[in-house]
Amino acid sequence: MYTLWTHPSDTPGLQLLCVLLHISPPNLNVFVCLSRVTNDMSGYGTVKAASTSTMSTCQSSEQPNHGNEDEDVSVFTDNVVFTTTDLAKAVIFGVFLVPIRLALLVFLLTLSNVLTNIILWNMSDEDLTSRPLTGWRQTLATGHIYLSRSFACLAGIKLTIVGEQATRKEAPIIVFAPHASLLDAMMPPLIGTSGITRHQTMEIPGGFGNIAKVLQSYFVDRGSSRSKEEALKFIKYRALSPMDWSQVMVYPEGTTTNGTKLIHFKRGAFVPGVPVQPLLCRFPGKGRVNLLTDVFIRRHSPVAMACMMLSRPVTHIEVEFLPVYYPNEDERRDPRLYAHNVQSLMAKKLGIPATEIRFEKMYKWYFKEMDTQKIS
């Protein structure tokens, strides 16, 4: 066994080596485990490669068991498998597509940063949370919708939108599921809504935090009970405010999965008791898998997944707006019942199970593993 340290600032050659390690064909009998980047985005990630016979060494003996649904970890496991054909196509197309796409995407991110800095000029955090953008700032903020769509197009993403987005008056809140991809973070700017995003977003290179600020999103610290309570207040305020805010997109599962099941819906989006519009996400067609799945137990690193996606001529994603869901009296009084019923509806439309699996135990196990790997 050996350890390879990787970091976003590493040389292209080292990054390429990481990609080759992480997407090795099955016949090489190489299994790769990658720890996710630490919460503060400043630490190194450890890559441990071993033969399949020692695969268990990449997993903790304290991993949550599969004894019951509440502790089921399969939905938090990367289920993407690359064949030799996939890798051959990636090499053939990637030589031409990846450099060109990366250059164009960097240009768009630079343009986006210029735009966000202009919009946020002379604005405090209090200004962003107390009233909607107006005038020229709102006009420029609308430009992010077109920039986001251009970004997706240049990345090779073909986005198909089914159904019609409701107005804020009809549905102040949009609930998105399954939350199964790093690309889900692009949905708010793609359709012009605010969102609930992790506070670590501000530390991601590329200015993504400022984009979320322009969208007037809320930054939540999932490790803080107070921050989660403030997020709930934010949702209620925005849903019930008479001011002309944008809609708020909420990911009711609370974390990312591999999309094979819907896990327990949190009550936050349903506490205001207002109508919501369900928004489904699919990766349709044979072989059109989610290449940016973001889960606790990984088979491939984010670098490898991103390279594979950028090397594909087209990545198909379909989102479907369902009709607005109007809660009855019982659902308005009981947010948990409201959440459960919306979850059941969305699962039925997606053709996957609705479960009561919760991520909290997995979350604790994962960060305990992160601490263990730091020490070792």
Separation between Cα atoms, residue 19 and residue 31, nearest integer Å: 13
State the CATH number of the domain containing residue 290. 3.40.1130
**Overall average pLDDT of the 310-330 stretch:** 92
Instruction: Report whether 258 contacts 78 (CB < 8 A).
Output: yes
Task: Tell me the per-residue pLDDT of 183-231, one tens digit each, with 9 for 90 and over.
Answer: 888 899 889 999 888 877 777 776 788 888 999 998 888 777 888 889 9
The predicted structure's pLDDT at residue 363: 63
| Burial environment of residue 339 by CB neighbours within 10 A (0 to 12, 13 to 18, 19 or more) | buried
Q: What is the bridge-based pairing of β-strands 157-162 and 315-321?
A: parallel
Domain that holds residue 123: 84-375
**88 is a domain residue:** yes
**20 is a domain residue:** no
Separation between Cα atoms, residue 134 and residue 117, nearest integer Å: 16
Mean pLDDT computed over every residue of the chain: 77
Separation between Cα atoms, residue 323 and residue 319, nearest integer Å: 13
Distances (CA, A) of 125 to 129, 202, 263: 6, 13, 33
**70 is a domain residue:** no
**Overall average pLDDT of the 304-312 stretch:** 83
**37 is a domain residue:** no
DSSP secondary structure, 314-371, as one string: -EEEEEEEPPPBPP-HHHHH-HHHHHHHHHHHHHHHHTS-B----SHHHHHHHHHHHH
Facing residues of 4 across strands? 47
pLDDT band at 373 (very low <50, low <70, confident <90, very high): low
pLDDT band at 35 (very low <50, low <70, confident <90, very high): very low
DSSP secondary structure, 202-238, as one string: GGSTTTHHHHHHHTT-EEE-TT-HHHHHHHHHHHHHH
Q: Quote the tokens at residue 313.
A: 């001529």
Residue in 221, 219, 206, 201 with CA at minimum distance from that of residue 148: 206
**58 is a domain residue:** no
Instruction: Report whether 356 contacts 266 (CB < 8 A).
Output: no
Q: Quote the tokens at residue 331.
A: 């659902």
The predicted structure's pLDDT at residue 16: 45
Is residue 66 scored above 50 in pLDDT?
Answer: no
State the first-to-last Cα distance of the chain, in angstroms, to the nearest integer: 14
Is residue 261 scored above 80 in pLDDT?
Answer: yes
**65 is a domain residue:** no
The predicted structure's pLDDT at residue 293: 72
The predicted structure's pLDDT at residue 267: 93
H-only helix segments in the chain: 12-22, 84-120, 125-130, 135-154, 187-191, 208-214, 225-240, 302-310, 329-333, 335-350, 360-375
**71 is a domain residue:** no
Structural domains in the chain (count): 1
Ranges 49-63, 157-171, 203-217, 278-292: which has the least confidence: 49-63
**35 is a domain residue:** no
